[in-house]
Amino acid sequence: MNLLSYYTQLFNCRKALYLSLFLLTTCYVSAQDLKLNDLEYFDRQGVNVLVYSNNFNGGFNDEKNSGIEIIHHGVRTVQGGAVRLNNTPEQWDLVPTTTSRKVNRDTQSIEVGLRYNDYDFDSRVMVTAKGKAVEIAVFLDKPVPEALAGKAGFNIEFLPSQYWQKTYVMDGRLNRFPRYAASQTVTRPNSEKPRQFKGFKTYDDRGTNRFVDPLPMETGHEIIVATDAPERMIRISSEDSELQLFDGRMLAQNGWYVLRSVLPTGKTGKVVTWTVEPHAVPGWIREPNIGFSQVGYIPEQPKIAVIELDKQDPVKATASLWRIKTDGTKEKAFEGAVKEWGPYYKYNYVKFDFSSVHEPGVYYIQYGDTKTNDFLIDKSVYNKITDATTDIWIPIHMNHMYVNEGYRTWHGEPFKEGYLQAPPSDHFDLHAQGATTDTKYKPLELIPGLNVGGFFDAGDFDIETGSNINVVQNLVRAWELFKPQRDETFVSEQQRYVDLHRPDGTPDILQFIEHGMLNLVAQAEQIGHMASTLSNSVLDNYHHLGDAASLTDGLHYDPSLKPYEVSADGKRSGTPDDMWAFTTRNPNLDMQAAAVFSSAARALKGYNDPLAQRALKQAERLTAESAQKVNRRRFDIWQMLNRPQEEDWIHGNGFVYAIQAAFDSIPLKDEAYKQKLRPYVIKFEKYIKGFDKDNPYGVPIGLGNWAGVNMVLNFGIAINYAHLYYPDIIGKDEIYRVANWLFGCHPYHNYSFVAAVGAARSKAVFYGNNRADFSFIPGNVAPGLLFRKPDHFENFDDWPFLWGQNEGTIAGNTQYVIFGSAFKNLVNK
């Protein structure tokens, strides 16, 4: 710090002190200014600036949810404000850990300490309210380490889907954000690239030993982004540093636009200063979000819209329901009082009950000037809610098969080269191979026979064994309960070919059970026990987007060949892209598999007897070998009744698991058992009703970094069973809670979380394996609402890449089949 700036600072401090005294005495507060609120973020109507309310985690966690974030007119459009080591950091690039966070109300500032352990590199970022703007300053107590000179910089990221095709001005030069990534890059030696998470590499350099580095699209000292869109406009300036604007999508489709200033080398103290002023639209009030069922309603069910309101938005007395007649004209069908539920996190909630309307027809809801899209009231509305999931989503996720639909191929036959024994290693998708293989195979030896059957996990292409066990379990349950005969899929295990919309005479559910079992039984037979996962060996193909069959080269890896070299017979290659089997033995998983093998054998009997026999044989062996070693947490309803704290009943998911397990036993037990269970069902009824006070939607709402759809589905399934067996305790009205939530009655927007047949407006983008196309696979179920601390829920429908809110999984989607089948069954009874 030089002397002049020291005196300037001193003067500013005195001035600030004098001013604050002045402000205190006159009680003058500008309503325009950003102020630190009780939840520790900077706030004015339309603008929230969060400073490390959400920290970076590293690794598997997609780091587009952390650091300095801006929620701009209700949309989280800016995040990632941090000292970073790359121009456009990818998932798996290093992230800083937060070593401290200090909120100072007197100076209206938040200071965070950031650290990179890998480089022994500390920095501090200070964010201070300055009128309508915040000042972001980076401080260094020690200079940037030599290894990071010219690489460490202060970055902030802008959500592409909210900025593309909008204009920006850099130092007076006009520009427009590109819809598609097409800026310039250079390559540099790998030795110059900061190491990535745990030393993994996100890229395949094709033997060049060089990595790709994007060049800036623009540089300057002042940028105004979205000059043509007031709700997105932000002015950012820096006198002491150059601003560089990059397109992060050059390296990864999930990249954002990045603005950064490289930290100067050899300097300490305040090294970078930005002024960031997000524009606030004068008088802006967030448009009401009218939550309702996009699938519609059956005439006799309760019909209650939940309307999410800006806390500044005065509540209107009434809302109305309009009927669109078959001649195209419309008429008011109902007008009713709006009832206040009250505040829940950021917004205020009211309800509009139009249950009294029974007449079948096409309707929309109007609240003030806000109208919803139309929806149906009709007895048939729920009949097709599982069809897209069973006819399209599930068969597309069949691994080791060619999957065709009409003129389109979804994917070719993946992983023809099979799976290698994983060596002791760490992994990037939450797995690890322990010190020993626990098998007869040597590290990197081919384990024969594993490239058969099984389902892709989710938006990625691995076989998670636990999830595949869940799939078979869910489908066997659906089969035994409802015997669905639906046949819309041709499956030939011999041809390794699946054709959608082509009946082949066999119920599809049976074929899916068979397909799941083919892989699980092969694991037990070939490995001797269950693998934890069959997954990618290298990170550079884990994030694969495209045809699963092109993820590996289909040739056996031969380390005696050079990388990218193919053997003369065309069967082997030197490219280490083969998938690995992670085989550390887990007796709990073996026992879980054994239980599923027994039940699947029941379902397969008479359809595929040899497979049923193999399953039974493995079930007996795994049980004999593992039963003594299991240490599973049991959800035992009889023990739970003795729990002293009533609170546990309301907040513990354990209760739902426990009571579901008890319901599952009912068909095998006598009337006395059913009677003994009654007090617990009465408790369950209280538990269900408890959610009416917990939140305006009456379902469990998760606050983790994976939104809570599985929890909601479990809740819904348990309610369905409770109503089926104890209709006098759990009324029929309760079964609609979860359906309403899934199909559009939830916060943030009112699109159906399920891409279901019959929904007027489903989510349009999901984190599926086709996410790079900003599309979805029909029948998918989104995790739903992602909670961002301290008070923000979101579900992007123009940006698919956040798995925590948009990724459907094979276990979750087959769970939806159970929920949907049970629900349809009850509704139509």
* Amino acid of residue 288: P
417 sits near Ca ion (criterion: CB under 5 A): yes
Where in 587-616 is the site for Ca ion (CB under 5 A)?
none
User: Which of 247, 462 has the CB closer to Ca ion?
Assistant: 462
In whole angstroms, the minimum distance from the beta carbon of 427 to Ca ion comes to: 10
462 sits near Ca ion (criterion: CB under 5 A): yes
- State the Cα–Cα distance between residues 497 and 401, nearest whole angstrom: 5
User: Which of 580, 715 has the CB closer to Ca ion?
Assistant: 580
Pairing of the two strands 497-500 and 402-405:
parallel
Q: What is the DSSP letter of 146?
A: G
Residue that has been written with the tokens 């513990």 in this structure: 652
In whole angstroms, the minimum distance from the beta carbon of 207 to Ca ion comes to: 16
* Count, residues in the chain: 829
In whole angstroms, the minimum distance from the beta carbon of 428 to Ca ion comes to: 10
504 sits near Ca ion (criterion: CB under 5 A): yes
387 sits near Ca ion (criterion: CB under 5 A): no
| Region binding Ca ion by CB under 5 A among candidate stretches 40-48, 428-436, 584-592, 752-760 | 428-436
247 sits near Ca ion (criterion: CB under 5 A): no
In whole angstroms, the minimum distance from the beta carbon of 508 to Ca ion comes to: 4
Which one of residues 63, 111, 374, 508 is an interface residue with Ca ion (CB under 5 A)? Answer: 508
> From the CA atom positions of the chain, what is the Rg in Å?
29
| Position of minimal CB gap to Ca ion | 457
Specify the 3-state DSSP secondary structure of 621.
Answer: helix
Specify the 3-state DSSP secondary structure of 253.
Answer: coil
Size of the site for Ca ion (CB under 5 A): 15
Where in 463-502 is the site for Ca ion (CB under 5 A)?
487, 489
Specify the 3-state DSSP secondary structure of 724.
Answer: helix
| Region binding Ca ion by CB under 5 A among candidate stretches 273-281, 458-466, 602-610, 669-677 | 458-466
In whole angstroms, the minimum distance from the beta carbon of 386 to Ca ion comes to: 15
In whole angstroms, the minimum distance from the beta carbon of 51 to Ca ion comes to: 32
User: Which of 42, 803 has the CB closer to Ca ion?
Assistant: 803
577 sits near Ca ion (criterion: CB under 5 A): yes
- State the Cα–Cα distance between residues 188 and 301, nearest whole angstrom: 64
Which one of residues 63, 578, 794, 807 is an interface residue with Ca ion (CB under 5 A)? Answer: 578
Residue 633 CA neighbour count, 13 Å, CB half: 6
Per the structure block, which two tokens stand in for 410?
A: 């979804």
In whole angstroms, the minimum distance from the beta carbon of 464 to Ca ion comes to: 5
- State the Cα–Cα distance between residues 393 and 741, nearest whole angstrom: 21
734 sits near Ca ion (criterion: CB under 5 A): no
Taking CA atoms, 593 is separated from 121, 332, 713, in Å, by 46, 56, 22
In whole angstroms, the minimum distance from the beta carbon of 425 to Ca ion comes to: 16
| Region binding Ca ion by CB under 5 A among candidate stretches 212-220, 339-347, 504-512, 773-781 | 504-512
Task: State whether the Cα torsion 214-215-216-220 is positive or negative.
Answer: positive
Per the structure block, which two tokens stand in for 377?
A: 């009231």
CB 454 within 8 A of CB 419: no
User: Which of 560, 631 has the CB closer to Ca ion?
Assistant: 560
In whole angstroms, the minimum distance from the beta carbon of 575 to Ca ion comes to: 6
In whole angstroms, the minimum distance from the beta carbon of 458 to Ca ion comes to: 6
In whole angstroms, the minimum distance from the beta carbon of 461 to Ca ion comes to: 8
User: Which of 353, 487 has the CB closer to Ca ion?
Assistant: 487
Helix, strand, coil in percent for the chain, rounding step 5: 30, 25, 45
93 sits near Ca ion (criterion: CB under 5 A): no
CB 271 within 8 A of CB 124: no
In whole angstroms, the minimum distance from the beta carbon of 707 to Ca ion comes to: 17
User: Which of 601, 811 has the CB closer to Ca ion?
Assistant: 811
Which one of residues 157, 247, 457, 794 is an interface residue with Ca ion (CB under 5 A)? Answer: 457
User: Dihedrals φ, ψ of 42, to 5°?
Assistant: -80, 135
- State the Cα–Cα distance between residues 478 and 455, nearest whole angstrom: 17
Q: What is the DSSP letter of 734?
A: G
- Helix extents (H) in 136-263: 160-163
Q: What is the DSSP letter of 520?
A: H
In whole angstroms, the minimum distance from the beta carbon of 491 to Ca ion comes to: 6
| Region binding Ca ion by CB under 5 A among candidate stretches 314-322, 457-465, 677-685, 771-779 | 457-465
Q: Which of 274, 324, 249 lies closest to 91, judged by CA?
A: 249
User: Which of 213, 460 has the CB closer to Ca ion?
Assistant: 460
In whole angstroms, the minimum distance from the beta carbon of 502 to Ca ion comes to: 8
Q: Annotate each residue in 145-174 with x if it binds Ca ion (CB under 5 A) or - if it does not, as one string.
A: ------------------------------
* Amino acid of residue 52: Y
User: Which of 562, 643 has the CB closer to Ca ion?
Assistant: 562
Which one of residues 506, 567, 705, 825 is an interface residue with Ca ion (CB under 5 A)? Answer: 506
CB 571 within 8 A of CB 517: no
User: Which of 178, 576 has the CB closer to Ca ion?
Assistant: 576
807 sits near Ca ion (criterion: CB under 5 A): no
Q: Which of 509, 397, 514, 521 lies closest to 455, judged by CA?
A: 397
| Region binding Ca ion by CB under 5 A among candidate stretches 208-216, 227-235, 379-387, 503-511 | 503-511
Distance of CA 85 to the CA centre of its chain: 26
User: Which of 459, 744 has the CB closer to Ca ion?
Assistant: 459
Where in 544-573 is the site for Ca ion (CB under 5 A)?
552-553, 555
Specify the 3-state DSSP secondary structure of 661.
Answer: helix
- State the Cα–Cα distance between residues 662 and 656, nearest whole angstrom: 10
Per the structure block, which two tokens stand in for 509?
A: 């559910």
User: Which of 233, 810 has the CB closer to Ca ion?
Assistant: 810
Specify the 3-state DSSP secondary structure of 579.
Answer: strand
Residues paired with 500 in a beta bridge: 489
Distance of CA 818 to the CA centre of its chain: 21
In whole angstroms, the minimum distance from the beta carbon of 817 to Ca ion comes to: 15
Residue ranges in contact with Ca ion by CB under 5 A: 417, 429, 457, 460, 462, 487, 489, 504, 506, 508, 552-553, 555, 577-578
